[in-house]
Amino acid sequence: MNELSASSANVDQAAAVLRAGGLVAFPTETVYGLGADARNPAAVARIFAAKGRPADHPLIVHLAHAGQLTAWARDIPDAAWRLAEAFWPGPLTLVLPRLPDVLDAVTGGLDTVALRVPDHPVALALLAAFGDGIAAPSANRYGCVSPTSAQDVHEELGNRVDLVLDGGRCPIGIESTIVDLSSTKARILRPGNVTESAVRRVLGEPLATESNRFVRSPGNKPSHYAPRARVVLAAPEEVELRIGEWHKRGQRVGLLASHWPTTLPDNVTLLPLPESVQKQAHELYHCLRQADHLGLEVLVAVMPPDVGLGHALRDRLRRAAGLGDNGEPAQVQPQPLPGVEP
């Protein structure tokens, strides 16, 4: 793998790699993406192979500006232009009816395509140099934690990627909000930094409820974003109880929290989170990776309040814990630890 700083010469080289059908990992404001030419089926196939991702999980096509929407989507509703105007470039993905020539490999065979204009100078420079859509999922192996630094990409994909543009840490740290505009009522498929109330304010009408998001977003499986450590969720008042339960079983336990009890058992490792939810989002995936680097077996994570960006953080923590939308067990459960009662 070639890891390059994000100079303009290197951006041009990255665009050439994309044109030749190669894979380029690049920074966005949310997480690092694993990019390929979205018009080249062989290049798109390499994304799925590199990630170990099932072929029916659709990809987001990244664009340089909203004017390119018409090259990918049809029947674009006024709502899409209004959201693009309000939030692009930015951490918002729009799902729209697709044009017939959009590759099935990109959409997972769906009749819709996901599109976004990222707000990162390196991503925008690459998109401008390349000149067309770049299909890019998060640059991690399937189901694992999204990378927020070039080093993380290296750890996830090694030399399965031809070139990594290093743009430092991603400022936001969790993936974009996905809004489905392909049916009559707009629906949030994945919460993110652009909150539901911000979307509602721009649209001026209520959104559809989230209940069937998995039907519409097959790649949105509940066990995404999971570290190797078992993630155990705790309300603030349950922290000591949860730590005690796992500590008693001889597990190497960590605590991920912005507030913690004054007395923690010896050898419980504290992964402190900052106070603000914005900063927590920035640190979350970094901390999940750190838990694995430290060899922790259990990570007790305190759920933030369900307001604003806290909603998206709770979603990612639930998925890291292998739980679905409402705390229901996911189809894919974390493997039980040997010798430990579930």
- Under 8 Å CB-to-CB from 46, ≥6 apart: which residues? 21, 22, 23, 36
Amino acid, single-letter form, for residue 314: R
**Of 281, 299, 98, 163, the residue nearest 106 (C-alpha):** 98
**Binder among 39, 141, 200, 216 for ligand TXA (CB under 6 A):** 216
Distance from chain centroid for Cα 179: 14
- Of the CA atoms within 13 Å of residue 176, those in its CB half-sphere come to 31
Give kind and range of the element (H or E) at residue 11. Answer: helix 8-19
31 vs 287, beta carbon nearer ligand TXA:
31
- Residue 30 interacts, among ligand TXA, Mg ion, none and using kind-specific CB cut-offs from 5 to 8 Å, with ligand TXA
Distance (Å, whole) CA 260 – CA 282? 19
Residue 150 CB, nearest distance to ligand TXA (Å)?
14
What's the rounded Cα separation, in Å, for the pair 290 and 288? 5
Query: Using the rule CB under 5 A, is 176 a contact of Mg ion?
Result: no
Residues 6, 24, 31, 234: which binds ligand TXA (CB under 6 A)? 31
Q: Which of 138, 195, 280, 290 binds Mg ion (CB under 5 A)?
A: 138
For 257-282, the DSSP string reads: ESS--S---TTPEEEE--SSHHHHHH
- How many chain residues interact with Mg ion (CB under 5 A)? 1
Q: Which does 217 bind (CB under 5 to 8 A by kind): ligand TXA, Mg ion, none?
A: ligand TXA
Torsion, CA 141, CA 142, CA 148, CA 154, rounded to 10: 0
- How far is residue 45's CA from residue 71's CA, in Å, rounded to a whole number? 21
Binding flag, residue 143, ligand TXA (CB under 6 A) = no
CB of 217 to ligand TXA, least distance (A): 4
Query: Closest separation between CB of residue 161 and ligand TXA, Å?
Result: 13
Q: Compute CA distances 204 → 36, 42, 83, 197, whole Å.
A: 36, 42, 11, 10
Q: How far is the CB of 307 from Mg ion (least distance, A)?
A: 25
Q: How far is the CB of 215 from Mg ion (least distance, A)?
A: 18
113 binds ligand TXA (CB under 6 A): yes
DSSP state of 100: T
Q: Which does 59 bind (CB under 5 to 8 A by kind): ligand TXA, Mg ion, none?
A: ligand TXA
Looking at the Cβ atoms of 217 and 280, the one nearer to ligand TXA is 217
Determine the interface stretch with Mg ion among 46-54, 133-141, 260-268, 287-295 (rule: CB under 5 A): 133-141
Q: Which is nearer to Mg ion, 180 or 253 (CB)?
A: 180
The contact pattern for ligand TXA, residues 163-182, with x = CB under 6 A and - = no contact, is ------------xx-x----
- CB 259, min distance to ligand TXA, A: 28
Residue 302 near residue 234 (C-beta atoms within 8 A) = yes
Pick the closer one to ligand TXA by CB: 88 or 260.
88
Out of 18, 23, 33, 164, point to the residue binding ligand TXA (CB under 6 A): 33
| Helices and strands per DSSP (H, E), number in the chain | 11, 14
Residues near ligand TXA (CB under 6 A) are 28, 30-31, 33, 57-60, 93, 95, 107, 110, 112-114, 118, 136-138, 175-176, 178, 189, 216-220
